Amino acid sequence: MFRYIFKKIGYLSLINKHMLQNTKPGKNNNKPISPDLEKNLEVIKGILHSSDLAVHEFNFGHDRRFKGALIFIDNLADKKEIHKNILQPLMYDALLLPMDMDFTQIDTIWKSLISMTDNVKVTLLGDLLDSLLAGAAILLIDGSKEALAIKAGKRDARSIEEPGTEAVVRGPREGFIENVNVNIALLRRKIKDTDLCVEKYVIGEKSKTDVYIVYLRSVANPKLIEEIRTRLNRIKIEAILESGYIEQFIEDSPYSVFPTVSNSEKPDKVAAKILEGRAAILVDGTPFVLVVPMVFIESFQSVEDYYARPFFASAIRIIRFLSYIISTLGPAIYVALTVFHQELIPTQLLISIAEGRERVPFPAILEAFLMLFAFDLLREAGVRLPKPVGQTVGIVGALVLGEASVQAGLISPIMVIVVSATAIASFAVPAQTDSGTILRYIYLALAGIAGGFGVIMGLLATLMHLASLRSFGTPYLWPVSPLNLSGIKDVFIRMPLWTMSKRPKAISRNSSDSCNQDPGLMPAPFKKGSNDSK
Amino acid sequence: MIPNKGSEASLIKKITSSIMIFILCFFMLFALTGCLGAREINDLEIVIGMGVDKDEDTGNILLTAQVVKKDTAGRTSGDASGGGDGKAFWNVSSTGDSIFDAVRQVTHKTGNRLFISHNQAVIFGNDIAQEGLQEYIDFFLRAHEMRPTALILVAEDRASDILDAKPETEKFPAMNIAKLVDTYGFTSHFYEVNMKDFASCLMSPTTAPLVPLVSIVKEKDCMDIYVSGMVAFKKGKMIGKLNHDEVRGLLWVLGKVKSGVLIVPSPDEQGKAVLEIVRVKSKVTPEIKDGSIVMHIKIKEESSLSEQTTAENLATDKAFEKIQEATAEVIRQEIMAAIDKSRELNADIFGFGEMLHKKYSSKWKTLKDNWDEIYPTIELDIDVETKIIKTDLLKKPVSQSEEEK
């Protein structure tokens, strides 16, 4: 039934694609640049009807015999830079050069006058426009078939702050920002290795967004990198506005509620994953960096697990597993128990539940749906509203939905406890909050229809689905299934760092000696007479 | 295969309609929920205790079910002002030709079905017990909601009176009974018997099952439940009563004594030494010698000196030896009391028959048929070994030391 509907939906998207192709404008920007400056300017002005297009025409050189024009987008370019490093050298410094120098050769100007880096020579009108829109200043010289694109863009960047979604108690407080160049720099500062590879892609016909793959050449599986390249190259889309766009076009199972591409705002987290052999995909304009492949267990690991000592880290990880179970199954188990399996509830508890439910006019399943709906509503409203108003929503929600609804006899007090426990638990595993929310409703519906049997069936279906998932070739349930003993050290508990000397086998390049540290690093006090210390 | 523009609209329509049908089917599922055994807590009458009596007028079964009153049950007794008499339970009764009939007849009064999964105890009235439990117990074992671990008890008089008791600390008399029986280990004056135990004893051709006997003790304005001993059954019918000491005599043999108090005279005969039983091991070996049956009962008991009423220092080897001897004698007397009672009733409450069956399975076939004649002739060889292992916090009694006098 689902497959049938998915097929139909797939068909729909096919039609949309077809329509999109029909409406696409013809590309006529592959013309070469003409040697005639006037003509070029006319063409460019003809294509860009914008009032923020700045065209500065000037004569330069001895006797001012050369004609040139500098084109840039007013709002993107840094005018001070342009003035100081492009116009000033051309107008004045050119006079210091020999009289017979031929300034119709772009190369001559580039090599002897322009005091800026990051310049590109362009010969095609299309490339010229692309550079122009990316913030470059274009230098056109009359009589030259080439133009020089000089990167003189300015870019407002937010300062590096602690990421809002991934706060830590112990660990670096820096987070990625919207500027991808800064983000790459943040990663480079963590991994100062010649192996760190940065590959650039430009995706989006209109947005022309910079997308970078960052990985360690000696550690990452070459097949993985090749796969990412193929999937990125497939994307033909108008605009990439956030890394979520990329995620949805490259993920393995688009119809799964479980994410198969992880994301993070923290450079230390991404660096750690790159060091394991994963590849990061950085997208300009968003602080969220994608990392592939993703395994399910990753959702339960936090960077802090590795900064804290193993005992506390392991305890917290077990709590995270429990909280995921509570957040997905809490209301379902409550409904299954109170509606189908009252004999499983201890007698005293059953009496308390019965007393609480005495005045409630709804069936337990409806009660649970109402409360969960109210919770999700409050959460959504709290996120969207400005902060001061958001607090009001919280107070109103707590008072009205918690206190008043119980006193009015609409909801039983135990249901409030169950739903609040669920709500709190759902935030303990941020990576699976989305999937957990969907599953919670599905399990609840199953519990309402068939009780414990329904919940078990739902769990089985989920398990089968999880076991069938792959993320860029890695089984989603690795290292639990298929079982990997060295990988399982970091699943339910976090073993001490000095025991985890091997990189994850399923992810990194397949060599048996893939170690990230010397074995036998267990700390021990210095012993007198021992020669090991030498 | 991309359809041309004309059919696109119709295709989208087709797809949306199929999705709509799916969504409709999905939500219709919820309408079917009632069919699969769902029952809201509001629609249940939670039964925590049941009493079975004989209706005096008609001779039918009079079933009393103790049902939790949901509006007052959760509240503390102080603020139960809104709920009528403030009782947390409701003893609803009905008559019927059979137990199941009566259970269903109750719905005329409750409006809801009785939910008996949480039934703690089934109490049979004295008249029913004398008539025989065989025909009444079937429902309690057969009903799928009923737990085999529910306690079985016999009331000294009428079962409904027991359920009407007003215990001081517990809100529900049935819960109080369950608690009383559950903590038998402090005295070992009776023991816990549930439906499953009772049924398996009923199936044995020789063993006589015992069931705790409860009665009501009226003191001022409170009516407390009291476990006064146990009653023995033979072939499903109640035949007699065992008092506290007799039951403990039985438990010594079975090795089921958990703890309890033993009082023996102190060696100087000035007062008493009070011992608490710590550990008991027992072994019963049947033997058939020259046609007569001998049961060798070997009991090893360890106790602690928990109280003494004399000024003499009992923590000496000499005193210990004397006390241990006296203890063994007390235990032997208790066992003999149980055996005398069982001979008097001619009921194999110890399960000697089953023990013989296990060891002498071939001879058992001949013994089985006239067990009633054989049982009183069984000889006993009792060997009790006792030991005091500690004296708790005091070593010497609180008195003036003799040396300082």
Residue pLDDT, tens place only, B93-146: 999 999 999 999 999 998 888 899 999 999 999 999 999 888 899 999 998 889
DSSP B307: E
**Distance of residue A339 Cα from the nearest chain B Cα, in angstroms:** 5
H or E element at residue B323: helix B317-345
Using H for helix, E for strand and C for coil, what is the string for A271-339? HHHHHCCCEEEEECCCCCEEEECCCHHHHHCCHHHHHCCHHHHHHHHHHHHHHHHHHHHHHHHHHHHHH
Query: Cβ B36–A450 below 8 Å, yes or no?
Result: yes
Res. A194: pLDDT tops 80: yes
Chain B residues closer than 8 Å to A449 by CB: 29-30, 32-33, 36
Chain A residues closer than 8 Å to B35 by CB: none
Res. A530: pLDDT tops 70: no
Summarised one tens digit per residue, pLDDT across range B297-307 is: 999 999 999 99
Summarised one tens digit per residue, pLDDT across range B236-268 is: 899 999 999 999 999 999 999 999 999 999 888
- Is A276 buried (19+), middle (13-18) or exposed (0-12) by CB count in 10 A? middle
Query: Cβ B46–A5 below 8 Å, yes or no?
Result: no
Q: Are A45 and A39 in contact (CB under 8 A)?
A: no
Rounded distance, CA B21 to CA A467, Å?
30
- Selection from A175, A345, A151, A390 nearest residue A266 by Cα: A175
Residue listed under structure tokens 């949306």 = B16
Chain B residues closer than 8 Å to A349 by CB: none
Query: Cβ B15–A360 below 8 Å, yes or no?
Result: no
Summarised one tens digit per residue, pLDDT across range B306-335 is: 998 888 888 888 989 999 999 999 999 999
Chain A residues closer than 8 Å to B46 by CB: 342, 347, 350-351, 354
- pLDDT value at residue B3: 47
Computed over every residue of chain B, the mean pLDDT equals 86
Q: Using pLDDT thresholds of 50, 70 and 90, give the confidence band for residue A10.
A: low
Q: Are A493 and A318 in contact (CB under 8 A)?
A: yes
Q: Using pLDDT thresholds of 50, 70 and 90, give the confidence band for residue A49.
A: confident
DSSP codes of every residue in A137-183: EEEEETT-S-EEEEE-B----PPP---SSS--SSS------S-HHHH
Instruction: Compute φ and ψ for B56, nearest 5 degrees.
Output: -65, -35
Q: Tell me if residue A132 falls in helix, strand or coil.
A: helix
Residues of A with CB under 8 A from a CB of B: 1, 4-5, 8-9, 11-12, 14-15, 18, 338-340, 342-343, 347, 350-358, 360, 363-365, 445, 448-451
Half-sphere exposure of A268 (CA within 13 A, CB side): 16
Summarised one tens digit per residue, pLDDT across range A379-402 is: 888 888 887 787 788 788 777 777
Res. A14: pLDDT tops 70: no
**Distance of residue B22 Cα from the nearest chain A Cα, in angstroms:** 8
Residue listed under structure tokens 């690093």 = A521
Q: In chain A, what percentage of residues exceed pLDDT 70?
A: 92
- pLDDT value at residue B43: 87
Interface A:B, Cβ pairs < 8 A: 101
- pLDDT value at residue B397: 83
Res. A301: pLDDT tops 50: yes
Tell me the average pLDDT across A521-528.
Answer: 82
- pLDDT value at residue B35: 47
Query: Cβ A339–B73 below 8 Å, yes or no?
Result: no
Rounded distance, CA B188 to CA B173, Å?
22
**Distance of residue A354 Cα from the nearest chain B Cα, in angstroms:** 6
Q: Where are the domains of chain A?
A: 37-151, 180-294, 307-471
Rounded distance, CA A132 to CA A138, Å?
6
Q: Are A411 and A405 in contact (CB under 8 A)?
A: yes
Res. A12: pLDDT tops 80: no
Tell me the average pLDDT across B168-179.
Answer: 88
- Selection from A261, A273, A341, A337 nearest residue A303 by Cα: A273
Rounded distance, CA A25 to CA A23, Å?
6
Summarised one tens digit per residue, pLDDT across range A327-371 is: 999 999 999 999 999 989 999 999 989 988 888 889 999 999 999
Query: Cβ A8–B115 below 8 Å, yes or no?
Result: no
Give the Cβ contact number of residue B163 at 10 Å: 25
A64 vs B192, more confident: B192
Half-sphere exposure of A236 (CA within 13 A, CB side): 6
Q: Where are the domains of chain B?
A: 41-76+85-242, 244-394
Query: Interhelix angle for A310-339 vs A433-468, to 10°?
Result: 90
Rounded distance, CA B363 to CA B188, Å?
34
Rounded distance, CA A342 to CA B118, Å?
9
- Selection from A331, A482, A291 nearest residue A421 by Cα: A331
A264 vs A520, more confident: A264
- Token readout for A297 is 């267990």
Say which of A338, A339, A351 has its CB closest to residue B46.
A351
Query: Cβ A445–B11 below 8 Å, yes or no?
Result: no
Res. A229: pLDDT tops 60: yes
Tell me the average pLDDT across A471-486.
Answer: 90
Q: Are strands B151-155 and B121-124 parallel, antiparallel or unpaired?
A: parallel
Encode burial over A503-524: b for 16+ CB neighbours within 10 A, e otherwise.
Answer: bbbbbbbeeeebeeeeeeeeee
Chain A residues closer than 8 Å to B74 by CB: 351-352, 354-356
Q: Which of A351, A360, A366 to mutate to test the interface with B (most CBs of B within 10 A)?
A: A351
Q: Are A422 and A331 in contact (CB under 8 A)?
A: yes
Q: Using pLDDT thresholds of 50, 70 and 90, give the confidence band for residue A422.
A: very high
Chain B residues closer than 8 Å to A406 by CB: none
Res. A24: pLDDT tops 50: no
Domain B244-394: homologous superfamily in CATH: Nutrient germinant receptor protein C, domain 3 (3.30.300.210)
Rounded distance, CA A145 to CA B306, Å?
112
Q: Using pLDDT thresholds of 50, 70 and 90, give the confidence band for residue B29.
A: low
